[in-house]
Structure 1
Amino acid sequence: MTLLKTSHFIKQLFLVITFSLIYSCSNSNIGEENSPFNLRLIETKIFTLDNETPPYNADYQLSENGKKRTLSFLNARNKTLYFYDYDSRELINKIPFEAVGPKGVGEVLRSYYYHNQDSIFVQAFQHAKLYLFNSEGEKLDTYPLKAPLGNYITPFYYSNGKLVINNSVGCNSSQGNDPKPVAAVYDLKSKTFALDVDYPKEYYTENSGWPISLCNVSNAPNIEAGTDLYSFAMSPEVIVTDHQGKYEKIDFSSSEIDQSRFATTDEMPLDPLDQAKLAGRYAQYGAIYYDPFQKYYLRFANEPIPESRMEKRIFKPIQNIIIKDENFNTLGEVKDFEGSHFFFFTKEGLNQISVDKDNEGLMVINVFDYEK
């Protein structure tokens, strides 16, 4: 079953589209205290990695085929997709990609999307192309990408013959009136794309005064509802779109984040380490997710990194997670959540990728249940 024959597969929840002037204020709770919410650890699953695979990788995806659940991820170091049986925890397949030759994808792979075993997309960063492979590693098709598209970050997904791609660009690198898109909608049949929703100017103009690392946009598709949420690092609001004309702003703020800290700065260091230090002094919003099993939205709200940590080059902030239901009613906020922000979801609960501090050859998955 190829991708182009499964146009009914998903409705969308991913990025942002045509601007309308209808903003939703009914869910606003800025300045209000979010009630406490807990995540209760119910299980820890251990997966064995090979000696080429680091503990953290790119874009964990869970797929289900009958009773079998498969967890996949991209190891960017060796340009290989790994597939594990989620329940038995056994490695069941690897798809290595070559840099050159007929199946070559270049030296850099940034992201992928697994639709089914005959339709696996990978983003060839240096080639400015998307390639379609099957599970045997055979290249089936090529989809050219053109400027002004930039650095793609996942998730991207397929719906009605099109891929919707989240596009993250440096905020302070705007040239002239070139658009800075959040989303690109790619028509696989015609091999053309349309840009969908520019960054608000305050996120990318030369006068924005924000470190480049604050400019990435996180998104969370709700396939069942056919909508996408977009989260900007410096905004208490998220954008909800269906890429067909719907556009709303929804408050998704944290009671733990002081909005007055969202001030601009004239300091724009070139060194990446100095940029990380500068960004760490800001409170900012992080990754956003949708749990299709519980029908919850989750958004990270990160407090400024204490100076004592930054002196030790520890750039991990204090993480809080705001949780809303599918109607954007706030259920509560998890305070000071430990560990990574790499999530995927199963019927059992929230799955967080973690590591074994004593053995980097293991991938640890902590499974959490929601607890008000």
Structure 2
Amino acid sequence: MRRLLTIFFLAFLASCSNKENKSTEQKNAFGNLSYSVDTVVIDPGESFLVIQNEFQLEHFSSLAKDQKTLYLFNNQDYNLAVIDLDQLKLLEFLPFEKEGPNGVGEHVQSVQSLTKDQFLFTNFQSTGIFDSNGKNLTSFKLSNSEFTGLEIDSPFNYQLLMTSDQNWFFSLTGYYNNGAKDLVKLNPKDKTGEFISLPALNIANDFSVMMSDRSILSVPQSILREVNGAHFISNEVTSSVYKFDYQKDSLQLITFQHQLVPNSKTVSVKNEVSGQAEFFAETAKSSSQISFGKMMWDDKRQFYFRLGHKIITSPLEEGSEIENEKNYKSFVYLFVYDADLNLLGETLLENIGRHPRFYFMKDGKLWSYVNLEDELGFAVFSFDF
């Protein structure tokens, strides 16, 4: 059964060339912004749709290019859920194998929808294209020895993406525990590759926090996304982004001059600590500063959108039933840019309790994950400006 719950609430929520964008000091496109929030829930029918957490949604999902279908992989039963976002219902599960000639691997890192019937599965050792029947069509080994031109000895299957024409792979170097990363460009047909330096993102290393025994760490993650035909690489610590046009082999560093928030985190943190209390104090120092989200393209308006947030934490009052936890308050910001990535507007979205963690643009609206009685739901933001 399809359910649509309409709730107007706000409590949820190169050679490298350098381009500096226009300031919003004179005119802010969000000067008269208003917005509403509808909440929708996905109907699973007779099936049970397993949603473990936002991490699963962020790393094991893929939005079809037409924005009509969301694919969600469950790494426990190896089924790929096919969710119709227009009809708001689960259509089917596509079964995949863990091992064997058609196996996607024991530790799947990511899933990418290439076409309606083809999917890219990546694990720590390799990647492969599979059809909707679970058949392995093509496999690729991901190691330096497989590609000429890769002089740096570094793993490079982090956030692996394949272009629509299936002629190129793009990825980031290192593992999740590395802050700053380089872009990797791979040609799977002639087995060539190159590392492309992204020095403006090295600032991420200044905001990593790790226990001296390496038992806990917090690392600002770089994000690689294909948006509006180009690849964007960003990191939460800075508003600056790299835009790589692989068809023109052009890399741009794009910087912004924000008026509402700083252009990056500025207050330094201690990178190595000796105890949990110190660890959480340092990570709180970082999260209380502005963090910039991923770039998103709105086909309807022909604008780029981006979220940002700050998280203010405070200890629970003495005598609370739950000890050693934190009270969180999020400040969520919305930024908009034109097709040339000129900053047009920025605003604080009032009264959103927690910042969105898994979200995307669809039909000119921002969809953000919410858990509705253990069912998959989305808060759908409509912006009027």
TM (norm. structure 2) is: 0.73
2:305 alignment partner in structure 1: 298
What is the aligned counterpart of 1:149 among 142, 149, 155? 155
The letter for the 2-side match of 1:149 is: P
The letter for the 2-side match of 1:58 is: E
1:119 alignment partner in structure 2: 118
Residues 173-227 of structure 1: CA deviation (Å, up to 9, x unaligned):
69xxxxx74432232323444333344473476xx4633644311244333xx43
Query: How far does residue 83 in structure 1 lie from its aligned partner after superposition?
Result: 0.4
Query: How far does residue 311 in structure 1 lie from its aligned partner after superposition?
Result: 5.7
Secondary structure of residue in 1 paired with 2:202: helix
Identity of counterpart residues, as a percentage? 17
Residues 263-296 of structure 1: CA deviation (Å, up to 9, x unaligned):
3333424889975653332213233322233222
Query: How far does residue 305 in structure 1 lie from its aligned partner after superposition?
Result: 2.6
Kept in 2: contact 1:114–1:120 (CA 8 A) = yes
| Cα distance in 2 for residues equivalent to 1:102 and 1:245 | 36
Secondary structure of residue in 2 paired with 1:247: strand
2:230 alignment partner in structure 1: 227
Residues 93-123 of structure 1: CA deviation (Å, up to 9, x unaligned):
2223333222223322121111113421011
Kept in 2: contact 1:348–1:367 (CA 8 A) = no
| Cα distance in 1 for residues equivalent to 2:72 and 2:253 | 32
| Cα distance in 2 for residues equivalent to 1:76 and 1:348 | 31
The letter for the 1-side match of 2:336 is: I
Kept in 2: contact 1:286–1:299 (CA 8 A) = yes
Farther off after superposition, 273-282 or 89-98: 273-282
Kept in 2: contact 1:23–1:248 (CA 8 A) = yes
2:132 alignment partner in structure 1: 135
1:368 alignment partner in structure 2: 381
Larger CA Rg, structure 1 vs 2:
2
Farther off after superposition, 313-322 or 81-90: 313-322
Kept in 2: contact 1:131–1:140 (CA 8 A) = yes
Secondary structure of residue in 2 paired with 1:87: coil
Residues 105-159 of structure 1: CA deviation (Å, up to 9, x unaligned):
332212111111342101112xx211110011111111111152346237x3414
Q: How does 1:178-217 map to 2 (within 5 A)?
A: 181-200=181-200, 202-203=202-203, 208=206, 210-211=208-209, 213-217=218-222
Kept in 1: contact 2:311–2:328 (CA 8 A) = no
Q: Does 1:246 align with 2:244?
A: no
The structure with higher relative contact order (CA 8 Å, sep 6+) is: 1
2:58 alignment partner in structure 1: 58
Kept in 1: contact 2:331–2:355 (CA 8 A) = no
| Cα distance in 2 for residues equivalent to 1:141 and 1:350 | 35
Task: Compute the RMSD of aligned alpha carbons.
Answer: 3.7
What is the aligned counterpart of 2:343 among 325, 330, 337? 330
The letter for the 1-side match of 2:377 is: V
Q: How does 1:1-372 map to 2 (within 5 A)?
A: 18-20=14-16, 22-28=17-23, 35-36=30-31, 38=33, 40-41=35-36, 43-49=38-44, 50=48, 52-54=50-52, 56=54, 57-58=57-58, 60-63=61-64, 69-125=68-124, 128-146=125-143, 148-150=154-156, 152-153=158-159, 156-167=161-172, 169=174, 181-200=181-200, 202-203=202-203, 208=206, 210-211=208-209, 213-223=218-228, 226-243=229-246, 244-252=248-256, 254-258=258-262, 262-269=266-273, 278-282=282-286, 283=289, 284-308=291-315, 312-313=325-326, 317-336=330-349, 337=352, 338-356=354-372, 359-360=373-374, 362-372=375-385
Secondary structure of residue in 1 paired with 2:340: coil
Secondary structure of residue in 2 paired with 1:143: strand
Structure 1: 4+ residue segments shifted above 6 A: 30-34, 270-274
Kept in 1: contact 2:177–2:219 (CA 8 A) = no
| Cα distance in 2 for residues equivalent to 1:73 and 1:346 | 17
Number of residues of Structure 1 aligned to a counterpart in Structure 2:
337
